[in-house]
Structure 1
Amino acid sequence: MTHGWPGSVAEFVDVIDELAEPQDGETPAFHVVVPSLPGYGYSDKPAEEGWGTERIAAAWVQLMRRLGYDRFLAHGGDWGGPITIALGDRFPAQVIGIHTTTPIAPPGLSFDVLDETERQWVEHTRAFERNRLAYAKVMATSPQTIGYSLVDSPVGLLAWILEKFFEWSDTVDSPFETISRDRFLDNVTLYWLTATGASAARISLESHQSLDPCLRVTVPAALTTYPHDIEKHPRSWAEERFRHIVRWRAPEAGGHFPALEMPGEFVRDLREGLVGVLAASGRIL
């Protein structure tokens, strides 16, 4: 399970146990591996250039092999989305199938195939890119500069991250309508205590808009788009990249941080998606 920015492994703390040891003994269970992205939390800070999403995907394959898993399922959102997409395309011998909440479609696709709802999705995504992407432009061009304030000022770090939780969660007045204050502070504190504000920002420099347009995922894929996420990709467009979609969901509620906002629903969606992936791959639970 791969997190993104401004998240961390703290995003998944409240869902790991139910995935690994579900209360219902008849429910499928999984071994769960939740690594920190390079430069995040307790992972090493990269000392060289090149740690973009595809290199991280290759590192995850090596990590899983060292843990004893020659074949595995992959989930990710935010930066975890393109990393998971890269896993599904580049490593089909190791990756059984994927689930992602960031099903990024290839660029340059036609509007003619979209219905009215899907056109609204695309306009929402483009409006976000036009009006709310300044943070990513800063980190993609000057991560070290903004990084000084993120490792020097706890208030600066808190504000930089809290703004995103405020804007990207499916809430009205405050992200804490659905997200625990304690869990949010766990997330920010992990950045602060490990002084990873700058090193975490570097993934934007290494990977911003770098997803290979030629990537095609042929392994089974379960895809979910939450209504208040910052990017929403129509199924007809997603089908150009994901060639074997076994499950497509567009829930009525949820934002960019579903494991924090609605952990029960997130677990159900992920579990059902992965069960569909396993069935499509010919594996029986």
Structure 2
Amino acid sequence: MTVQPFRISVPDDVLDDLRIRLSRTRFTTASDSARWAGGTDPDYLRELVAYWAGGFDWRAAEAALNAYPHYLAEVAGRKVHFVHLRGKRADGAPAPLPLVLTHGWPSSFVEMLRVAGPLTDPAAHGGDPADAFDVIIPSLPGFLFSELPAGPFTRRGVAEIWHELMTGTLGYQRFGAFGGDIGGGVTQWLGALYPGEVAGVHVTTAVIATDFGERPPTAEEQAYLDEVAVYDESDGGYSEIMLTRPDTVAAALVDSPAGLVAWIADKYRDWSDCGGDLERRWDKDALLTVATLYWATGTIGSSFRQYYDYHRNAPVPPIEVPGAVTLSREPIFANFPKSLAERIYRDLRHWSRPGRGGHFMPHEEPAQVAEELRVFFRPLRTQG
């Protein structure tokens, strides 16, 4: 299979059109006197739109992104975009362990970039050079530069694509996997399907992927599931529309950059470990880098496909390879019981509640994530 180098290059006319649209934005009024209570705060949105139109330097952001080695490959007949960074091998040490990092929604490969350096060159970041990884960061199908699959978008289907990317396209015989949110589901499927090639799997959002058919929930587990149901009543509106009417909301977001960034910023604030201050974790430049990528590629609608096809996901079978959970500090995981993870992982070797870092943990706490990955994978680097 052919792997081609790729550079991000947004045409000038796309950027000119973006600025014109931003300059003509019509803003709504807040539904509540408490800021952010009804979604993205209109005052913050005005500030963000003004900066996007007149202060944000996309060309500088684009150059920074292009400092990483990007590639396109055809896998399962579809185009897959990924960043591929080779680890620095220490003298006398085994070759760096390949590690595929998978993002979620409404995220992108950008989420993983801050942790890439500490993983590929641990010595330069205060770590042991023997802990180096080769890092592969794909864009999920339908996100940015990766094409949607020919059939439904399922976590299992993405895992099958990633396995082909890692083994067939890149030639790795053994690798580790890490992810959160959708990426966590994909990571779990990699471990379940390919125990011969996957050294271990590590997630930050402990995906509930069991139907409880053979073993009903314990009292603690049921209490947690009830909490999730209550939480979803206040937070689930975004997912309900993307599950049932994705094309309707996508028509608005693909046409309005202000609407697009409002849709994204709402979840970045809710799900980051930011204490209500979005820019503690995602400054305007980082947030607008993601928003511009979605805008320029026109892929916000195709990123919804994994919601629309969600009912096609089967429960993950038991995972025999070593597993690790570094639990996100999101409200939905506050009381997540370890026993739920143990229902899926037959060999759960690492369970951590660091109390820092939310839905986008590799961006929010890169040093923490790098160290958690080093500790978990250190004994798994060699077979046996």
Amino acid at match of 2:328: Y
1:88 aligns with 2:188: no
TM-score by length of 2: 0.67
How many matched pairs? 275
1:14 aligns with 2:114: yes
Using a 3 Å threshold, how does the CA distance of structure 1 residues 153 and 107 change in structure 2: closer, same or farther? same
Q: Which has the higher strand share?
A: 2
Q: Name the SS for the 1:246 alignment partner.
A: strand
Q: What are the ranges of 5 or more consecutive residues in structure 1 without an aligned counterpart?
A: none
Q: Corresponding residue for 1:60?
A: 162
What percent of counterpart residues are identical? 36
Bigger CA drift: 20-29 or 139-148? 20-29
The correspondence for 1:192, drawn from 273, 287, 295, is: 295
Query: Cα RMSD between the aligned structures?
Result: 2.1
1:146 aligns with 2:249: yes
CA distance in 2, matches of 1:263, 1:128: 28
Instruction: Choose 1 or 2 for highest CA Rg.
Output: 2
Amino acid at match of 2:172: Y
Q: Corresponding residue for 1:205?
A: 308
- Cα contact 2:109–2:138 (8 A) shared by 1: yes
CA distance in 1, matches of 2:373, 2:284: 24
Amino acid at match of 2:253: L
State the shift of 1:189 in Å.
1.4
Amino acid at match of 1:110: P
Q: What are the ranges of 5 or more consecutive residues in structure 2 without an aligned counterpart?
A: 1-100
Using a 3 Å threshold, how does the CA distance of structure 1 residues 185 and 271 change in structure 2: closer, same or farther? farther
Q: Name the SS for the 1:230 alignment partner.
A: helix
Q: Name the SS for the 1:187 alignment partner.
A: helix
Bigger CA drift: 51-60 or 221-230? 221-230
Which protein, 1 or 2, shows the higher relative CO under an 8 Å CA cutoff with sep ≥ 6? 1
Q: Corresponding residue for 1:111?
A: 218
1:263 aligns with 2:370: no
Q: Name the SS for the 1:32 alignment partner.
A: strand
Give per-residue Cα distances to partners, 1:91-121, cap 9 Å, x unaligned.
Answer: 2122111001122232444233x3xxx7875
The residue correspondences of 1:64-83 to structure 2 (distance < 5 A) are: 64-65=166-167, 66-83=169-186
CA distance in 2, matches of 1:271, 1:26: 9
CA distance in 2, matches of 1:261, 1:222: 19
- Cα contact 1:171–1:178 (8 A) shared by 2: yes
- Cα contact 2:205–2:328 (8 A) shared by 1: no
TM-score by length of 1: 0.89
State the shift of 1:123 in Å.
4.9
State the shift of 1:179 in Å.
2.5
Using a 3 Å threshold, how does the CA distance of structure 1 residues 120 and 257 change in structure 2: closer, same or farther? farther
- Cα contact 1:8–1:36 (8 A) shared by 2: yes
1:2 aligns with 2:109: no
The residue correspondences of 1:209-224 to structure 2 (distance < 5 A) are: 210-213=312-315, 215-224=317-326
Using a 3 Å threshold, how does the CA distance of structure 1 residues 214 and 2 change in structure 2: closer, same or farther? closer
